Homo-oligomer: A and B are copies of this chain.
Amino acid sequence: MNGQPTLKDVARACGVTAMTVSNVLNGRDKEVGPETRKRILKAIDDLGYRPNFAAKRLRAQKTSAIGMLVLDDVPEFLNDPFTTQVVAGLSNFATEHGYSLILQGLRSESPSTVPMLGHLQTDGVCAILSGSPDTRRKFIKRALGLRVPLILIQEEFDHPLVCSLRQDDRGAARAIAEYLVDRGARRFCYLAPSAHWPAISERIAGSQDVCNKAGCSLTVIECGDESFEATQKAVASSIGTEGLPDAYIGGNDRMAMATIRLLQDRQLAVPEDVRVTGFNAFDFASFAAPSLVTARSDAYEMGRRAGIEMLKGIELGGFEHNDFVLPVSFVAGQSA
């Protein structure tokens, strides 16, 4: 009696039944007299009544929650600005539509991933993956065990319960490469992580498209885990064996900036001596010197879009369209 007031408490206070109160709360106004209605609303306010969601959910057989999963190797699973923007966009959308967002990071290789996943009870799941293709596929299959719509960011998977949201990586990569070719570059190095993400493959393919047409060369440098150190080591080694290219095309801004630092330490001017481009521009990139040429994907918007498709998927119990490719804008910095 001393906890949160229930529907019954409100009803008692008004001398009506719980049902009547419920009708008022759910906007079934025509079922209730305007006079009674007023009295009830006042009582609700006075008592500070708030509906119990657990009860509602149990009754409705619906959680009104969306799960956001981030598969990552490290515990700090929100390090990537692309990820955080997606999460923010989805979270806001969910909140605005009466859903709560349950955020969970999962270590890609951990065996505890399975029980953790089982603990998730939501009407739909959105996931951002990382790790090897094998790890990712395994994860997807497990996530499908939840039997709810699954939206994958930057990852394809053919299944009626799965919807992919991707950005036009190939097109963006083409734009970057064309920009460089226009400025006279002919010999390119592509900075890629050793793990072969689909998105990275697309970006390489886009650069290759342009190189083929323009008769340029493209060498892929594998930068391990794309960390600062790994990238610099890989680039240094490449310079040792094959010399300097006209431009480095970064698979992302991190690798690009690590490369810029390396070149600067060697007294090379960027972009005068060598050009360097990035990918997935985020705020912080503008703090780097010199500014990067980069593609900016609107990750926040992608998160919102995930919300939109998710609600459709939940309503329909599956997806009508299950692959969307979103545009990417091209951003030329001031001095690159």
Contacts and interface: CB of A to CB of B under 8 A. Distances in A.
Interface of A: 3, 48, 50, 52-55, 57-58, 61, 63, 65, 68, 75-79, 81, 84-85, 87-89, 91-92, 95, 98, 100-105, 116, 118-121, 145, 228, 254, 257-258, 260-261, 264, 283-284, 286-289, 300
A287 B300 contact: no
Closest 6 pairs between A and B when the two form their complex, measured CB to CB = A78-B84, A54-B57, A257-B287, A54-B58, A78-B88, A103-B103
B55 A75 contact: no
Contacts of A63: 53-54
A116 B75 CA distance: 29
Given A75-B92, A100-B102, A121 B53 contact: yes
Contacts of A101: 102-104
Given A85-B78, A95-B119, A264 B287 contact: no
Given A264-B289, A288-B287, A289-B289, A76 B87 contact: no
A213 to B, nearest CB: 33
17 contacts: A3-B61, A50-B118, A65-B102, A68-B103, A75-B88, A75-B92, A76-B89, A77-B91, A78-B84, A78-B88, A91-B104, A95-B105, A101-B102, A101-B103, A228-B287, A254-B287, A288-B288
Contact of A77 (B88, B104, B264, B288): B88
Nearest to A107: B92
How many copies altogether?
2
B91 A105 contact: yes
Nearest to A284: B284
A90 to B, nearest CB: 9
A100 B69 CA distance: 12
A66 to B, nearest CB: 10
A251 to B, nearest CB: 15
A306 to B, nearest CB: 14
**Which of A61, A91, A254 gathers the greatest number of chain B CB atoms within 10 Å?**
A91
A289 B91 CA distance: 34
Contacts of A288: 287-289
A28 to B, nearest CB: 20
A191 to B, nearest CB: 14
B103 A87 contact: yes
Given A76-B89, A78-B78, 18 more contacts: A54-B57, A54-B121, A55-B58, A75-B88, A75-B92, A76-B88, A79-B81, A84-B84, A87-B103, A91-B104, A91-B105, A95-B116, A98-B119, A100-B102, A258-B287, A260-B289, A261-B289, A264-B289
A92 to B, nearest CB: 6
Contacts of A55: 58
Identify the interface centre among A63, A77, A284: most chain B CB within 10 Å of its CB. A284
A221 to B, nearest CB: 18
> Looking at A58, A63, A68, A89, which has the most chain B CB atoms within 10 Å of its CB?
A58
